[in-house]
Amino acid sequence: MEQILTLAEEVAAQAAKAAGAVARNLFQRGFKVEEKDESGDLLTEADLLAEQVILHSIRGMFPEHQIRSEESGWSGVEGDWLWLVDPLDGTNNFAVGMPLFGVSITLIYRGMPMLGIIYDTMQDKLYTARRSAGAVCNETVFRIQEKPASKRMTIGWIQGHQVQQDNRASRLRLHIEQNSKRLLRLWAPTLQWVMLARGQIDGIVLYNSEGDDLYSGLLLVQEAGGVVMDFDGNPFDGMNAEPYIIACPPDRKEALLQLVRSGLQAEAAL
């Protein structure tokens, strides 16, 4: 397995940087954009071209592996290995000229994320996480840096497209916003996971948002020393089709869990 992961890391890292270069070039000189679906989500030519770069690399080296990619969906034969690809995480940012977007590639083995690659395109920073091997940024190992205690936290919020009209999600989000220093929504979840792994924010609350950009970020936070749990406080690992997740540095665990619980209790009392 280690040989496969070592080769996979090399292939994914090169593919992520190449895909990022495609997106960065288009971002600087112009691109085509269209609405992807009725939700108003967008699709640009950068999504499609970056995806082609990544899929070509993976299929060329691992033709027996299955792939699930943001734009083209499922391909290959189901087996032990599954690649998850988001070639342009932050498409809506990209489309409106906001330089906050990246690439996410994850390799799953029998339902367990084993390798996560995130490329912060505009900052040219490559983040790598291998299970039980730590978190790395541009070949430098790093850990979550503890911050001075603060009465109010900066919390990242991530929610799935399918819960846009979910009143429970809206009320929980409002509760967290009212009881924290700031609620952050980047429209580029992987970069939000990077911020948490670097200790730049105090935590993330994710409400039912499973997708191709999720597990690279979760693995990065875990390998950087962060806590990842469900809304009941149980450790979260593996995959889940409808995840409800709290992630934070170890010293923020109880405070953030209590914040989410109080919001859910207030919702239940309505």
User: Using the 8-state DSSP alphabet, how is residue 235 labeled?
Assistant: B
At residue 157, the pLDDT reads 98
Segments in the chain below pLDDT 50: none
Interatomic CA distance for residues 23 and 14, integer angstroms:
14
Interatomic CA distance for residues 135 and 119, integer angstroms:
13
The number of beta carbons lying within 10 Å of the beta carbon of residue 178 is 9
Question: Is the distance from CB of 1 to CB of 109 less than 8 angstroms?
Answer: yes
Q: What is the pTM of this model?
A: 0.94
Query: CA 74 from chain center: how many Å?
Result: 19
At residue 30, the pLDDT reads 78
Interatomic CA distance for residues 199 and 143, integer angstroms:
8
- Render pLDDT for 249-263 as a digit per residue (tens, 0 to 9): 999 999 999 999 999
At residue 162, the pLDDT reads 84
At residue 40, the pLDDT reads 52
For the record, the structure tokens of 58 come out as: 């993976």
Query: CA 168 from chain center: how many Å?
Result: 23
Concatenated DSSP letters of 116-183: EEEEETTTTEEEEEETTTEEEETTEEE-PPP----SS-EEEEEE-GGGTT-HHHHHHHHHHHHTSSEE
- Render pLDDT for 1-43 as a digit per residue (tens, 0 to 9): 899 999 999 999 999 999 999 999 999 987 767 666 655 566 7
User: Which are the contacts of 31, defined by CB distance < 8 A and separation ≥ 6?
Assistant: 44, 45, 46
At residue 164, the pLDDT reads 82
At residue 44, the pLDDT reads 83
Structural domains present in the chain: 2-142 (3.30.540.10), 154-268 (3.40.190.80)
